[in-house]
Structure 1
Amino acid sequence: MAKDLRETRIEDLPGPKSKEELEEMKMPYEEYCRAAFDPGNEHTKPEPLKGIRWLSTTMYIFTPHSVSNLAELGAEVIKVEMPRMGDPMRHTSPFNEAYLYPLHDTRPMTGTGFGFLGANPSEFHISMDYHLDEIKDAFYRLVKMSDGLTECYRPGTFDKWKQSYLYLQELNPRFIYVWGGGFGYGPKVFGGSYDILGQAHAGLASITGMHDFMGGHCAKHSNWCIDWYSGTQITFGILAAIHWRETTGLGTMIEFS
Structure 2
Amino acid sequence: MSDGPLAGVDVVELSSNIAGPFAGKLLGDMGAHVVKVERPGVGDSVRARPQPYDRHGTDGLTYRFLNYNTSKEGLAMNLKTDEGKDALEGLIESADVVLENMRPGSMDRLGMGWETMRELNPGLVYCSITGYGDGPYADRPAVDTMIQGISGFASQIGDDDFGTMDVLVADMSTGLYAALGTVMALFSRATGGSGQRVDVTMLDTMVSFLGHHLAEYTGDQRHDDYEADYGAAFAPNDFFETADDHIALYLTQDYWARFCATIDREAWADPNHRYGTNESRLAHREELHADLEAVFGTATTEEWLDTFDAADGPIPAAPVNDIAEMVADPQVQAQDAVQVRDHPVLGTHWLPNVVPKFSETPGDIGHAPELGGDTETILREMGYGDADIENMRAAGAFD
Task: Compute the TM-score of the two structures, normalised by the length of structure 1.
Answer: 0.71
Query: What is the percent sequence identity of the aligned residues?
Result: 29
The Cα shift of 1:247 comes to 2.3
1:248 maps to which of 189, 192, 197: 192
**Letter paired with 1:120:** N
**Letter paired with 2:147:** G
1:227 maps to which of 171, 185, 188: 171
1:203 matched to 2:152: yes
Cα 1:133–1:109 change in 2 (3 A) is farther
**Letter paired with 2:49:** T
1:104-143 alignment, distance < 5 Å = 110-143=59-92
The Cα shift of 1:95 comes to 6.2
The Cα shift of 1:240 comes to 0.7
Cα 1:191–1:109 change in 2 (3 A) is farther
Distance of 2:108 and 2:7 partners within structure 1: 30
1:129-176 Cα shifts (integer Å, max 9, x gaps): 123333211111011121111111122211111101111111111111
1:160 maps to which of 109, 129, 137: 109
**SS at 1:192's partner residue?**
coil
**SS at 1:84's partner residue?**
coil
**Letter paired with 1:87:** D
Distance of 2:86 and 2:60 partners within structure 1: 30
1:2-17 alignment, distance < 5 Å = none
Distance of 2:139 and 2:81 partners within structure 1: 22
The Cα shift of 1:179 comes to 0.8
- Kindly report the root-mean-square deviation, in angstroms, between the aligned alpha carbons of the 2 structures: 2.1
1:92 matched to 2:86: no
Q: Which residue of 1 aligns with 2:121?
A: 172
**Letter paired with 1:60:** N
Higher normalized contact order (CA 8 Å, seq sep 6+, divided by chain length): 2
**SS at 2:191's partner residue?**
helix
**Structure with the greater alpha carbon radius of gyration:** 2
> Once structures 1 and 2 are overlaid, which stretch shifts more, 225-234 or 85-94?
85-94
Distance of 1:109 and 1:166 partners within structure 2: 38
Equivalent residues of 1:80, 1:127 under 8 A apart: yes
**SS at 2:64's partner residue?**
helix
**SS at 1:159's partner residue?**
helix
Aligned residues: 198
Q: Which residue of 2 aligns with 1:83?
A: 40
1:66 matched to 2:23: yes
**SS at 1:179's partner residue?**
strand
Q: Which residue of 2 aligns with 1:183?
A: 132
**SS at 2:91's partner residue?**
helix
